[in-house]
Structure 1
Amino acid sequence: MIYISTNMFQPLNLEKIYEIVDSVDFDLGIEIFSMFHIPGYQELLDKNRQRLKNYPLTFHEPYYQADHSYLDGDVFLTTRHYYEKLLSFQDLNPKYIVYHYNNRKIQDRDLMLEAARKNLDDLGQESSIPLLIENVGVKPWENVLLEEEEFIEECLERKENVLIDIGHANANAWDIDHLLSKLKNKIRSYHLHSNDSYHDLHQSIFHPDMAPDIQSIIQLIKKHTPQADLVLEYGKDYDQQVQQVIQDAKKLHQLWIE
């Protein structure tokens, strides 16, 4: 199943997602990138509650003003508050929630890792929705908590399954074939976007000047995890480029079924 992340829209433009998912002759799902820090967002999501039930859904946990690498303090409390808001929409029956170990720069790495694990344990018990661990962080932001082999080891030791962000892996020069081969039994989904192989740009997967090559990536995904989901997770540059996203979704669908 291919999903379109609402991350590409300004938060209160959420309803533009229907222009994409209703415009193709194959099923497209929606990944709701939660933005509860924006006034009016929760009300907008609630307004769309019944309509969203007509689509396959996944959730992306709160990102802005949130971080799981704390065990107390304001950010910890804000993160938990936003999570409570997200879980109030469990009746939308999302397939999973995407979980970030951290978003902030690395400080006291061991303590951050301990906190991220404990928060994952706690939230996993509170939610009936499966949590997927995403590979996050890029070198320019100094927030890579787990390098490639560390991430593989962590995921193999955890009970949760995994979402691989191809753009993050590319920006960090990870060996994507190796990554997928090691985690193939745990990978359930992918975030697809492109970049300059260093910065986290969240550009179109078909951008002529960006990497990685999407055809090669799709071949690797088919090889290792043919049942996995694919999520187009573009940045805010695409809020006004709905037609391009529609064309990207169509081309991705064609690549997938070939």
Structure 2
Amino acid sequence: MKYFISDLIVGISHFSEFADWIDSQHQSDFGIEFTAFTHDKDYWERLSHKVPQMACPMTFHGPYINIEATSPLDSKEHDWLMESYNRVFALAAPNGVRHIVFHYSQLQFNEDEIPSKQKNAYAVMRDLTKLAKRYGVNCVIENLCRQKHKTHLFTNEEYFDIFQNIPDAVSLIDIGHANVNKLDIEKFLYEYGKRVKGFHVHNNDGITDQHKDYHKGTADIRQIMHWVGKYTNDADIVIEYEPHEKLTHSELIDEIKELKGWVEEGIG
């Protein structure tokens, strides 16, 4: 297993300094998850310059601003999504990036829209899975959080089905989203654990997606880390907090050590 902290905690204005701090730790199993935005030309250029300088392990969160996988397949929006992920995969592949996170939708829908929107998302997931294989990278499909209004694109059961229907697809389990959605994490790992390449670790009240410190919420993170150790193989464990979580560098290091200890309890 390798352990990461998402640069979400510092925001895009400070990602470079945060990356420098993580790199300075010189730990072969500790690294950073970069947010690989493509919509901002200046940001993309800075990221493209930074990534090859890094010695620590890296993962990417794929682009999700101005990106929508349920868009019509003959639309400019679809073309931009595919162009964006080509760029991201091309940056990831030669730099040893361990996974790239994909969101199958940023939207919410009326019930009658769901079949056509799912069809479009499936086409994108199949195409990105094939494209990732050609680049030699892992494009991981994240379980997303249900929406407050209207209808979520995939139910928990339909999230399971993605990996039945796309045999080469790989997964990232977002623990905070699973806590809100009541996704049965142990069942998913029992069935698909070897295809789970990463986890986003954060917590919430079980009602809304809050991206809090994993000690602050209703999800039993220690138990979940035991399942990670039991069912998965060389997965990436990524702390993913929003900037409202004001942890010091020392506190973040302590959390990484704690998560590592819990995973090792599960392996043992």
Q: 1:198 to 1:136 in 2, by over 3 A?
A: same
Matched, 1:105 2:108: yes
8 Å CA contact 2:229–2:264 kept in 1: the answer is no
Q: What is the CA RMSD across the aligned residues, in angstroms?
A: 2.4
Q: Which residue of 2 aligns with 1:151?
A: 159
Moved over 6 A (4+): none
Q: Which residue of 2 aligns with 1:47?
A: 49
Equivalent-residue separation in structure 2 for 1:115 and 1:79 (angstroms): 12
8 Å CA contact 1:135–1:163 kept in 2: the answer is yes
Q: 2:241 aligns with which of 231, 234, 239?
A: 234
Runs of 5+ unmatched residues, structure 1: none
8 Å CA contact 2:222–2:259 kept in 1: the answer is no
Q: What amino acid does structure 1 have at the position aligned with 2:140?
A: L
Q: Structure 2 matches for 1:138-177, cutoff 5 A?
A: 138-140=146-148, 142=150, 144-158=152-166, 159-177=168-186
8 Å CA contact 2:198–2:237 kept in 1: the answer is yes
Matched, 1:65 2:72: no
Q: Which residue of 1 aligns with 2:94?
A: 91
Equivalent-residue separation in structure 1 for 2:103 and 2:150 (angstroms): 15
Q: Which residue of 1 aligns with 2:252?
A: 245
The count of corresponding residues between Structure 1 and Structure 2 is 255
Question: What are the superposed Cα offsets for residues 116-144 of structure 1, whole Å, 9 maximum, x if unpaired?
Answer: 11122323343412221111132425452
Secondary structure at the residue paired with 1:2?
strand
Equivalent-residue separation in structure 2 for 1:130 and 1:171 (angstroms): 26
8 Å CA contact 2:27–2:56 kept in 1: the answer is no
Q: CA deviation at 1:67?
A: 1.3
Q: CA deviation at 1:26?
A: 6.2
- What is the TM-score normalised by the length of structure 2? 0.84
8 Å CA contact 1:12–1:40 kept in 2: the answer is no
Q: 1:228 to 1:40 in 2, by over 3 A?
A: same
8 Å CA contact 1:206–1:248 kept in 2: the answer is no
8 Å CA contact 2:36–2:47 kept in 1: the answer is no
Q: What amino acid does structure 2 have at the position aligned with 1:151?
A: Y
Q: CA deviation at 1:243?
A: 4.1
Matched, 1:178 2:158: no
Q: CA deviation at 1:23?
A: 3.9
- What is the TM-score normalised by the length of structure 1? 0.87
Q: 1:140 to 1:244 in 2, by over 3 A?
A: farther
